[in-house]
Structure 1
Amino acid sequence: MPPRINLPPITRALLLLVLALSALNASIRLSKWRASLADAPASHVATTPSNYFSAPEWAVPFLVLVPIYIIHQPWVFLTAALVENNIVSLAISLSVLWFGGRYLERAWGSKEFGKFVLFVTMIPNFGAFLVYGIWHAAVGKPQFPTPIQGLIALEAGFLVALKQLVPEHTVALFKATLRVRIKHFPALFTLANIISGPLLGTDTALWLSLFGFLTGWIYLRFFRITEITTASATGGEGSTMKGDASDTFAFVAFWPDIMQPYLAPVCDGIYDTLVAVKVCTPFSEEAIEAGNEGAASRSEGLPSIMDGRGGSGRRAEAERRRALALKALDQRLNSAAANRTAGAPVALSAAPMTPAEAPEAAVGAPMEIEEPVKEVQA
């Protein structure tokens, strides 16, 4: 009996949607291409090269984002992100969804993962639509506008999220001849698409990867609600924090160490400007401390959550959170006991403890308390 495929619900749905919509898109493009060949003269067919995989005239407007048709079909802001044109890009996208989606959905839960997918698909598509709309308005509308489609933006967002969760996890490539840490993947992926766009004519991948990278980082850095599970949390186990204020998730931290001293002043200047015009709210010292402690407490949990054995990764995360909460509680009890002991040593000796009070006073109480007690009793 083959092993049961264990995938979270949203990841499973995304995989099926990408397969179904890509197959539908390919069949419609092929039908349109064949119909054009039947209507065209034989001499024109023999002398005019055509490729139904990439030629913009065969785009399917109700599945992919074609700027001139967007007013009548607004749903393509979502469906365009789930359609691939060829086998190679489809295989890459399915692999990213299988591994990245499975890990992130188990780490965050289906609700948070679904919100992240919506942000990192629709906003980059809308940004790319604005870029091409402005370009067409400036230079003139072409006969066949460039269709915008593919999972490039979602792939960039997944890499940003993995950089936040498991930055030090190492991926071995080409039979372990090349090892790259996950924290370097977002910048490498975006840079590769920026370079390949002008060279290979994949300019949509340039914009989608750039917008996907920025959207994923902005959402996780400033807007996603997360639980505070560090020892510095003062509100208990249910405390929450908006965004991730850790230094390791700052924008400059995505780039190589040798470049950070030069990029840091630029990034700080942009951030200070956004704060001054009230676009961003500055992080408090407590939020930065909590974010740094949360980043330090993250281990390389990728394999434990990816193995799919009954949610062992989620249980391990819950155990870690309980341990941190107990540690914070113990620190507060120790501090309270120390303050009571330092403030009233005579009262302690004059009023003997009952058996019910003994455990509370024993937590963190200094051993030197016995000497003052003997002196007062004498």
Structure 2
Amino acid sequence: MPPRLNIPPVTRILLVALLLQSVLSAAVRYRQWSAQSEIVVEWLTLVPQLSLFYPWTFVTAALVESNIFTLSIAGLTLFHGGRYLERAWSSREFAKFLLVVSLIPNLLCFLVLVMLFTLTRNERWTLTTIAGTIPLQISFLVAFSQLVPAHTVTLFRGILSMRVPKFPLIYIGVVTILSLTPLLTSASLFLALFAFLTSWTYLRFYKTVFPDLDSSQPTSMRGDASETFAFAEFFPGPVKPFVAAFSDQIFNALVAMRVCTPFSPGDASTGQGGSYLPRGAPGGVRAEAERRRALALKALDQRLHAATSTRSSSQPPNQTSDPTISIQPQSSTQTAMTSQPTAMLGETNYNPDHDHEKEVS
């Protein structure tokens, strides 16, 4: 028998909704197609001029793809990324994250298109279709940048190698190019930018932190005060100081408006990263990355032990002829090095001190 795919519930719902809505949208556009006009499905995708009477489209539009190419990429992204994030965070936290990164970028893009129509009086802006999984895809990349910031992904047999936090900006560049082609609409770039800012803001300041099972940390901690998840870490080294200075000014303005709450020294030391050490501190990034993976692995180990205990208690007592195999538990570091991010992202190398050595030299 072929192996059964173990897909968590929220990820399974996402995949089914993506397939059904994309097929339904394609069927409607195929039946109403004409060479003189462009067909839009205003009750399934978000069209500023037509979808005001269908408020659910602010959410459903994020799971509608218009062609087989983007549908294939979306399916692979939701399958692999959704499985990993849902298991690392829990289904409830993953569902909250999906709602935030779907609703807010679509709403902001809607407002921008209406504003462009107001300024230019060009009706094309309000007839632009807002749809697609671009907000979810770039939000997954931001989430991976938080969970595995020290991992280096090697592509094309070592020709190209880069850290995980570099992928969101690369993705925005690809979307910018494809938005000039028929594959993506002109709203795609706005969606990518707003989703990048929304997902980082939510994970940085608002998402509930998964508590350390071996410590007395409060369960109401929110955000991630770790240095490796600062906004400037997504940008190349030469521009990091300028981005950091600009983002600090924006953050101070938001704090003054009481939109954001500043991190306290306690948040910095017990945040999701676990170690808020200076960039120059030896081993600081390594300890932070290992702690993050260990937190997710502890939850997975508990579920595996519970499932194993359930199967053992349900076996007939007379089946004792098979030899007993003793499996020695791996250390947390060794388990982290062979954990799921490596299998999903392909060939990865864990070299957290690489950037630091460059900065020192």
When normalised by structure 2's length, the TM-score is 0.73
Query: Distance between the aligned counterparts of 1:110 and 1:72, measured in 2?
Result: 31
Corresponding residue number in structure 2 for 1:88: 69
Q: How do 1:24-43 and structure 2 match up within 5 A?
A: 24-33=24-33, 36=34
Number of aligned residue pairs: 292
Query: Distance between the aligned counterparts of 2:120 and 2:68, measured in 1?
Result: 33
* SS state at 1:68 partner: coil
1:281 aligns with one of 251, 261, 284:
261
Corresponding residue number in structure 1 for 2:225: 245
Query: Distance between the aligned counterparts of 2:17 and 2:306, measured in 1?
Result: 26
Give CA deviations for 1:265-306 in whole Å, capped at 9, x if unaligned.
11112212222232221110110112242573433859x97x
Corresponding residue number in structure 1 for 2:100: 119
Going from structure 1 to structure 2, the CA distance change for 1:8 and 1:310 (only over 3 Å counts) comes to farther
Corresponding residue number in structure 2 for 1:214: 197
Going from structure 1 to structure 2, the CA distance change for 1:199 and 1:15 (only over 3 Å counts) comes to closer
Contact between 1:106 and 1:314, CA under 8 Å: does it hold in 2? no
Letter in 1 for 2:88: A
The higher-RCO structure (CA 8 Å, 6+ apart) is 2
Contact between 1:156 and 1:209, CA under 8 Å: does it hold in 2? yes
Going from structure 1 to structure 2, the CA distance change for 1:244 and 1:309 (only over 3 Å counts) comes to closer
RMSD: 2.9
Corresponding residue number in structure 2 for 1:257: 237
Going from structure 1 to structure 2, the CA distance change for 1:279 and 1:140 (only over 3 Å counts) comes to same
1:189 aligns with 2:171: yes
Letter in 2 for 1:189: Y
Query: Distance between the aligned counterparts of 2:186 and 2:264, measured in 1?
Result: 40
1:298 aligns with 2:278: no
Misfit runs of 4+, over 4 Å: 198-201, 308-315
Letter in 1 for 2:61: A
* SS state at 2:238 partner: coil
Letter in 2 for 1:70: S
1:128 aligns with 2:98: no
Contact between 2:151 and 2:164, CA under 8 Å: does it hold in 1? yes
Query: Distance between the aligned counterparts of 2:200 and 2:24, measured in 1?
Result: 32
Stretch moving more, 75-84 or 240-249: 240-249
Contact between 1:227 and 1:238, CA under 8 Å: does it hold in 2? no
Corresponding residue number in structure 2 for 1:11: 11
Stretch moving more, 199-208 or 66-75: 199-208
Query: Distance between the aligned counterparts of 1:301 and 1:61, measured in 2?
Result: 42
Letter in 1 for 2:205: F
When normalised by structure 1's length, the TM-score is 0.70
Query: Distance between the aligned counterparts of 1:103 and 1:26, measured in 2?
Result: 30
Going from structure 1 to structure 2, the CA distance change for 1:199 and 1:92 (only over 3 Å counts) comes to closer
* SS state at 1:241 partner: coil
1:76 aligns with one of 47, 57, 63:
57
Going from structure 1 to structure 2, the CA distance change for 1:3 and 1:176 (only over 3 Å counts) comes to farther
Q: Percent identity?
A: 42
Going from structure 1 to structure 2, the CA distance change for 1:230 and 1:7 (only over 3 Å counts) comes to closer
Give CA deviations for 1:90-145 in whole Å, capped at 9, x if unaligned.
01101110111000000000000000000000110001100111112222252681
Gapped regions of structure 1 (runs ≥ 5): 38-47, 49-54, 321-378
Going from structure 1 to structure 2, the CA distance change for 1:163 and 1:125 (only over 3 Å counts) comes to same
Contact between 1:107 and 1:314, CA under 8 Å: does it hold in 2? no
Radius of gyration: which is bigger?
Answer: 1
* SS state at 2:128 partner: coil
Contact between 2:150 and 2:289, CA under 8 Å: does it hold in 1? no
Give CA deviations for 1:311-348 in whole Å, capped at 9, x if unaligned.
55999xxx97xxxxxxxxxxxxxxxxxxxxxxxxxxxx
Query: Distance between the aligned counterparts of 1:227 and 1:107, measured in 2?
Result: 9
2:47 aligns with one of 66, 69, 73:
66
Contact between 1:223 and 1:243, CA under 8 Å: does it hold in 2? yes
Contact between 1:228 and 1:290, CA under 8 Å: does it hold in 2? no
Contact between 2:128 and 2:185, CA under 8 Å: does it hold in 1? no
Contact between 1:82 and 1:149, CA under 8 Å: does it hold in 2? yes
* SS state at 2:154 partner: strand
Letter in 2 for 1:102: R
1:267 aligns with 2:247: yes
Query: Distance between the aligned counterparts of 2:114 and 2:304, measured in 1?
Result: 48
